[in-house]
Amino acid sequence: MFAKELNELKKKDLIRQIISHTSPLRSTITIKGRKYINFSTNDYLGLASHPEVIKALISALRKYAFGTGASRLLAGGSILHEMLEEQISNFKGTESALVFNSGYSANTGIIPVIASDGDVIFSDELNHASIIDGCRLSTARTVIYRHRDMTHLKALIKKGRTGRKIVITDTVFSMDGDIAPLSDICDICTSHDAILYIDDAHGTGVLGNGIGALAHSNIKPEPWIIQMGTFSKALGSFGAFVAGSKDVIKWISNTSRSFIFSTALPSCIISASIAAIKLIKKDRTLIKRLWSNREMLMEGLKGLHYDTMGSETPIIPLRADSIKDALRLSRYLYKKGIYVPAIRPPSVREPRIRITVSAAHTEKHIELLISTLKRFR
């Protein structure tokens, strides 16, 4: 079964491979007994292996047990879940927040309940797959605007007349590393009385001193802005959150199916997220190091004639002319002990390799990546 379909994928160089490492997640990882410098992780600050995060996880594991046995509404969550929600709303400057089990379940669970019959969603064409799926699950009409194209968004939003209007965008686009023009988007939302829903998965812990994309763009967390983000990227943990006004969060916790019908995250994971936020609040040097590493890599790439596709963040794609070329470059780096994955359709339209740089990389790691890329061309 499915042999024919699989063969079609293979012919197009689109077979994906699950890659498993046998080491802790750090700036280097071991795959099949060989050590690689890892330029593929979204663990931007190296918090996944931070001793404070691990310590918090273990102590909560001892105190609250592991499994949670039920959803939040059936007492599956502990007081730690509430503490994390309070911490997130303080951090983001909103009235309230709610924890979700993953970014994927947040987007697919929230979008259908904030946009429904008669409403119109305006969605950037490069939004994350979980947003696309959230839009598909919503009974609202979805209109796609060209990537970061404000003229296009304005033209489209003018047309929709009845119902609620909801603009949805990634803050940092996960495969391109560019940033949504949030100030312009906010202006458009205000003039058209639209709600803004942002996915700050790659902004939280990275932009605006770690607070996220709104802080980066000097935008106040207005009640008509709903912010979603994850604990699974820069915070090195697992799970997601939505932050916004009291009523919005209350509405989501009463209606969102992925919140209501899913078992609560283990308290030890919540405890790790709490520790991670405390860490970045206490010490911004990690974020500074992330950005200086990013600058160093971009500087090194300058003379090498790669197209970084408008990257503005620690996500740095290098454009490839074809799927084959993307695979060739990724395999070359792999042979040299550097792991940078090739990204192909349907994840992206234009094939590329996707480098993510982190605070945990050393100068040597970055120098080696640059010199290896130099030898490839």
Ligand X SMILES: *Cc1c(COP(=O)(O)O)cnc(C)c1O
The two structure tokens encoding residue 40: 């593929």
Q: Which amino acid is at 35?
A: K
Q: Which of 199, 203, 287, 306 binds ligand X (CB under 6 A)?
A: 199
> How would DSSP label each residue in 268-305?
HHHHHHHHHHHHHHH-THHHHHHHHHHHHHHHHHGGGT
Angstrom distance (rounded) from CA 209 to CA 195:
25
Give yes or no for residue 201 binding ligand X (CB under 6 A).
Answer: yes
Given 50, 92, 165, 202, the catalytic residue: 202
The residue among 350 and 370 lying less far from ligand X, judged by its C-beta, is 350
H/E stretch holding 40 reads none
- Can residue 130 be called a binding residue for ligand X (CB under 6 A)? yes
Contact assessment for residue 298 and residue 316, using Cβ atoms and an 8 Å cutoff: yes
- 330 makes contact with ligand X (CB under 6 A): no
Distance of CA 169 to the CA centre of its chain: 12
How many CB atoms sit inside 10 A of residue 284's CB? 11
CB of 229 to ligand X, least distance (A): 9
From candidates 230, 293, 330, 358, binder to ligand X by CB under 6 A: 230
Q: How many residues bind ligand X (CB under 6 A)?
A: 14
Q: Which one, of 360, 363, 367, 355, lies nearest residue 176 by Cα? A: 355
202 catalytically annotated: yes
Residue 236 contacts ligand X per CB under 6 A: no
Q: CA of 235: how far to CAs of 52, 57, 111, 173, in Å?
A: 12, 13, 23, 18
198 near ligand X (CB under 6 A): no
Q: Roughly how many angstroms between the first and final C-alpha of the chain, as a whole number?
A: 42
Which of 300, 262, 5, 276 lies closest to 109 in space, CA to CA? 262
Q: Chain centroid to CA 75: how far?
A: 29
Asked if 102 is an active-site residue, the reply is: no
Find the part of the chain contacting ligand X (CB under 6 A) among 9-17, 199-207, 326-334, 347-355: 199-207
Is position 305 annotated as part of the catalytic site? no
Rule CB under 6 A: say whether 202 interacts with ligand X.
yes
Q: Which of 50, 165, 233, 365 is catalytic?
A: 233
Nearer to ligand X (CB atom), residue 76 or residue 177: 177
The nearest distance, CB 118 to ligand X, in angstroms, is 26
- The residue nearest ligand X at its CB is 103
**Cα 340 to chain centroid, rounded:** 18
**Contact set for ligand X, span 65-124 (CB under 6 A):** 102-104, 107
- Min dist CB 65 to ligand X, Å, is 23
What's the min distance (Å) between Cβ of 231 and ligand X?
7
For 367, list phi and psi in degrees, rounded to 5. -60, -40
Is residue 148 a contact point for ligand X (CB under 6 A)?
no
Least Å from the CB of residue 11 to ligand X: 29
- Does position 170 interact with ligand X (CB under 6 A)? The reply is yes
CB of 175 to ligand X, least distance (A): 9
Report the catalytic residues: 174, 202, 233
Report the interface residues with ligand X, using CB under 6 A: 102-104, 107, 128, 130, 170, 174, 199, 201-202, 230, 232, 240
